[in-house]
Amino acid sequence: MVAESGGPEDQKPQSDEARSAFAPPAGTMQPVSPPEEDHPTSEFALPTGVQAESAQSGAGGSSGGSSNSDTLTSAFTPPSTYRAQQSPPAFTPAQGIPMVKLTKEAPWQDRMRTMLRMPVTERPAAESIQRTDDDTGPAVPRVLDLTLRIGELLLAGGEGAEDVEAAMFAVTRSYGLDRSEPTVTFTLLSISHQPSLVDDPVTASRTVRRRGTDYTRLAAVFRLVDDITSEDTEVSLEEAYRRLAEIRRNRHPYPGWVLTAAAGLLAGSASVLVGGGVLVFLVAAAGAMLGDRLAWLCAGRGLPEFYQFTVAAMPPAAMGVALTLTHSTDIRPSAVITGGLFALLPGRALVAGVQDGLTGYYITASARLLEVMYFFIGIVAGVLIILYLGLQLGAELNPEARFTPYNEPVVQILASMALSLAFAVLLQQERSTVLAVTLNGGVAWIVFGAMARTGQISPVAATAVAAGLVGLFGQLFSRYRFHSSLPYITAAIGPLLPGSATYFGLLGVAQNELDTGLASLSTAVATALAIAIGVNLGSEISRLFMGLPGAVGGASRRAAKRTRGF
């Protein structure tokens, strides 16, 4: 018997397969309310008769009467106009997101430094520069791997932790990964990317096992990051990998014999700075070159750097003790030993360690400073062994015989410039940067000599001011060339290193005059800290005068990491 009501069941077949367990039996009255449609709907579906607005319609436009009830949707389904490269922010804070003006004319280092110092909730969404072929977004694992490899080269080359994080952040944002967080420590790099609040994060890490001094390679990596972050240059992932492989394969710009000659020139120039003559120059250069060759021999046998520094410090000290045993009055043994110490003091690692500490990266700073301490102890051990042997042989080493005043300023300035030139070669800098860093080192020595010798100001204070100028000029040079500031700073601080204070402190300890020796070593430590703090302060001052990106409306520039310890 067929139901008399004109419901939708009149058109359906009466087979058993068409009925469900909830179908009313034949012969009963059907409910008055309309039955459930064939397609289920969610609680977010629009009621029947209400027209949904089209996401692509113009102002005031609407769709042609289609209902959202025809499609199975979810609260987490992205809209039809969603693009992986232009994804919306994860959330909006209650106070809103302040408008941030990222000046395109500013180098990527300054733009990314500004972004890193912002809270996560205030960072603007990424403006994707390097596009992909489709709309599926970039290959996240490959972008993270490329970012880690770039960060590894920068950190292994001696770059500061904040600049390494800025470079990693710039690469990920350029490829559309805006919600990424890099982390840099002394030997470990890691980066995490979370597409949204409901997606699983992707994390990758890389360990830095080998370190090397090659500022040419460092400059090439900076150029690669600059091209990746530039809107005018198309750098795909494959192209970035190819250029990175070329950077790794490139040989050093200077052969080994040039590096050995540069070590001799550095030691000889340093001996002239402390009052030595032509013969002292030659003897100090010979001792430094012999120490450099011995250090290369130890490195080839796999000995740690601690023993390499210990062995390299012995030949200059032995040269000085040998000159003392000859009872020659024309040669100053102290100048020979001091010149050899100048070529070994780890000024590069010291500046990087103090810079990381001042910018809030305390773990990396502690590790760098601990490395500097080990290098310094190795130098102390090598010099003390030779000094003890010299005292046993009857060498008359007088810690009270200080250096003569600087009566020839022109010679001193030329020696300081030659020292900076040799230091730049040892750091494997590009030939185009050698002249600038040489002039920067000469300016540093002029300022130090004018304040400490002519003005009778404290040598530590004079060193800090001279190092501040080095940092200021180095930052200006780097911004002009869009390079790292290290090639323009590290070699220029060479003439300011505390070689003489270190020697007299070690001599006092060797002769059991601990008060005099420890006081001189304290002066050396204070001078080294003055160099590092002065370089960092000069760099920060330079950024105050440059048009850096920041919040619109004249908001104050953010400090690094923490403020006043809170």
Mean pLDDT, the chain, whole residue set:
75
Taking only the tens place, the pLDDT of each residue in 418-437 is 999 999 998 888 888 888 88
What average pLDDT does this structure show over 247-273? 87
Measured between alpha carbons, how far is 51 from 147 in angstroms, rounded to an integer? Answer: 47
Query: For residue 314, what is the enclosing H or E element?
Result: helix 305-325
pLDDT at position 230: 81
242 contacts 249 by C-beta, under 8 angstroms: no
Report pLDDT for 33.
53
What integer pLDDT is reported at residue 22 of this predicted model? 59
Identify which has the larger pLDDT, 550 or 370. 370
Output 66 or 514, whichever has higher pLDDT.
514
Mean pLDDT, residues 68-74 taken together: 47
CB crowding 302-314: b at 16 or more within 10 Å, else e: eeebebbbbbbbb
For the ranges 91-100, 211-220, 316-325, 487-496, the lowest mean pLDDT is seen at 91-100
Report whether 227 contacts 235 (CB < 8 A): yes
Work out the average pLDDT over 395-406: 56
pLDDT above 90: residue 372: no
State pLDDT tens for residues 178-202.
778 888 988 899 999 887 777 788 8
| Residue 341 host element (H or E) | helix 333-342
pLDDT digits (tens, 9 = 90+) for 548-561: 554 444 444 555 55
Residue 249 has pLDDT above 70, yes or no: yes
Contact 387, 399 (CB under 8 A): no
| 34 pLDDT tier (thresholds 50, 70, 90) | low
Binned at pLDDT 50, 70 and 90, residue 124 comes out as low
- Element spanning 89, H or E: none
Q: What 3 state SS string does 16-50 have?
A: HHHCCCCCCCCCCCCCCCCCCCCCCCCCCCCCCCC
What is the rounded average pLDDT of the residues 485-511?
80
The more confidently predicted of residues 195 and 217 is: 217
Q: What is the pLDDT of residues 143-191, one digit of tens each?
A: 999 999 999 999 888 888 888 988 898 888 888 887 788 889 888 999 9
Q: Is the pLDDT of residue 390 over 90?
A: no
Helix (H, G, I), strand (E, B) or coil at 563: coil
- The 3-state DSSP class for residue 193 equals strand
Residues 541, 472 contacting (CB under 8 angstroms): yes
Q: Which position has the token pair 């390679």? A: 217
Q: Between 253 and 563, where is the model more confident?
A: 253
pLDDT at 103: 47
Residue 32, burial from CB neighbour count under 10 angstroms (0-12, 13-18, 19+): exposed
Place of tokens 């009055």: 329
Instruction: Give the pLDDT of residue 61.
Output: 44
Rounded to an integer, the average pLDDT of 354-368 is 85
Mean pLDDT of 244-271: 87
3-class secondary structure for 392-440? HCCCCCCCCCCCCCCCCHHHHHHHHHHHHHHHHHHCCCCHHHHHHHHHH
Residue range 277-312, pLDDT digits in tens = 888 888 889 999 999 899 989 988 888 889 999 999
Q: Is pLDDT of 523 > 50?
A: yes
Which of the pair, 542 or 461, is modelled with greater confidence?
Answer: 461
Look up the pTM and report it.
Answer: 0.69
Joined tokens for residue 42: 């969610």
Highest mean pLDDT among 66-70, 327-331, 346-350: 346-350
- Segment 482-503 mean pLDDT: 80
Residues 6+ positions from 492 with CB-CB distance below 8 Å: 420, 437, 440, 441, 444, 470, 473, 474
**Averaged pLDDT for residues 38-63:** 48
When pLDDT is averaged across residues 71-78 and rounded to a whole number, the result is 49
Q: At 531, is the pLDDT very low, low, confident or very high (cuts 50, 70, 90)?
A: confident
Closest CA to 320 of 353, 272, 284: 284
| DSSP assignment of 124-175 | PPP---S--SSSS---HHHHHHHHHHHHHHHHHTT--HHHHHHHHHHHHHHT
Query: What integer pLDDT is reported at residue 311 of this predicted model?
Result: 92
pLDDT score of 538: 78
Is residue 346 within 8 A of residue 499, CB to CB? The reply is no
pLDDT above 90 coverage of the chain, percent: 9
Lookup: tokens for 280: 């002292």
Whether 7 has a pLDDT exceeding 70, the answer reads no
Q: Residue 371 in contact with residue 158, Cβ under 8 Å? A: no
Find, among 317, 356, 318, 322, the residue nearest to 338 by Cα. 317
Answer whether residue 9 shows pLDDT above 50.
no
For residues 542 and 52, which has the higher predicted lDDT (pLDDT)? 542
